[in-house]
Amino acid sequence: MIDVIDRIRDIVGDSRIFPEESLKNYTTFRIGGKCRALVMPSTKEEIIKVVSLLRETKTNFFVMGNGSNLLVSDEGFDGIVVSLKFFKGIEVLEEDDKTFTVRVMAGELMSSVGNYLARQGVEGFEFATGIPGTIGGGVRMNAGAYGGELKDILVNITAIAEDNTVATLSNEELELSYRTSILAKKNYICLDACFKLNKGDSLDIKAKIKEYANSRKEKQPLNYPSAGSTFKRPEGYIAAKLIDEAGLKGLQVGGAKVSEKHAGFVVNVGGATAKDVIELTDKVKEVVKEKNGVSLELEVVKLGF
């Protein structure tokens, strides 16, 4: 592992690799142990070289965006974490009176992209502007909110395939569906994404973004660390409603708690461990299954378990 870390250092430089780094402060849950090394490539070439090296040396690794949908084990992750937080950029590919096409690097935050597009008077991305993730992570799970999903506006992406070649995948080839895509199934890594949107009125677009932000503030427990919606939506049901009806709002294990504001969120009210979260979510799944006959599935990605 030391040899691999040294070889990665040759690719990205000393200032972008951190051996034995705690992942707690790199996730929105503020939970988790150390990884063998955290590496932060800043160019497409660096990412491809790092990923190719890790695959060729059969080194365990994980690619992270904003860590907003991630629960890291208390024992950490016995491998390399590749963070794309420095891989940013927005390129306008085509623009006319009605449409606006952009290519966005995987490390860009969806909030930054949404606000950029609003300033340009481009509509269609408002729903994603409040999602606290990156474009790469958003595409991988087909992020959505307020009736919109990335698949509605996505043209294609560039990704590193399993054989380390760079491939372009169309919207159809990505097989985007509820909180999943072919990227997750085939272990592809998104490098950038192309979106085609429509021109609109900048003031109206900004007003809609503000409306969604106010709605989130009113309904979601944004004052506590969390990984967003904890459970996927079961077909025909709403997870938060099932949890609420089961009387589980406020249920707490250690520092992990089912939010009293929104039952779909498990929050870190102080000093929560991954063990607390797993114990709590297992209990929620058990009670909901017992009372409603519905099996809840975690939306949060687990690392190091």
Domain range enclosing 198: 90-219
Q: Are residues 112 and 175 in the same domain?
A: yes
* Nearest-angstrom CA–CA distance, 203 and 201: 6
Q: Quick one: what percent of the chain has pLDDT higher than 90? A: 97
- pTM for this entry: 0.94
**Domains contained in the chain, number:** 3
Q: Among the three residues 83, 103, 136, which one is the final residue of a domain in this structure?
A: 83
Q: What is the pLDDT of residue 112?
A: 98
* Nearest-angstrom CA–CA distance, 135 and 104: 7
Catalytic residue status for 229: yes
Q: What is the pLDDT of residue 184?
A: 84
Catalytic residue status for 179: yes
pLDDT tens string 57-76 = 999 999 999 999 999 999 99
Which of 46, 123, 149, 299 is the catalytic position? 299
Task: Let me know if residue 231 belongs to a domain.
Answer: no
Task: Let me know if residue 224 belongs to a domain.
Answer: no
Q: What CATH number does the domain containing 190 carry?
A: 3.30.465.10
Catalytic residue status for 7: no
pLDDT tens string 187-228 = 899 999 999 999 999 999 999 999 999 999 999 999 999 999
Q: Among the three residues 189, 219, 249, which one is the final residue of a domain in this structure?
A: 219
Q: Are residues 189 and 132 in the same domain?
A: yes
Which of 46, 83, 179, 181 is the catalytic position? 179
Confidence of residue 231 (pLDDT cuts 50, 70, 90): very high
Joined together, the tokens standing for residue 285 give 């799944």
Confidence of residue 88 (pLDDT cuts 50, 70, 90): very high
Q: What is the pLDDT of residue 2?
A: 77
How far separated are the first and last CA of the chain, in Å rounded?
20
Residue 242's SS3 state is helix
Q: Are residues 21 and 46 in the same domain?
A: yes
Task: Let me know if residue 226 belongs to a domain.
Answer: no
In sequence order, the 6+-apart residues with CB closer than 8 A to the CB of 220 are 259, 261, 262, 265
Q: Among the three residues 57, 83, 109, which one is the final residue of a domain in this structure?
A: 83
Q: Are residues 108 and 168 in the same domain?
A: yes
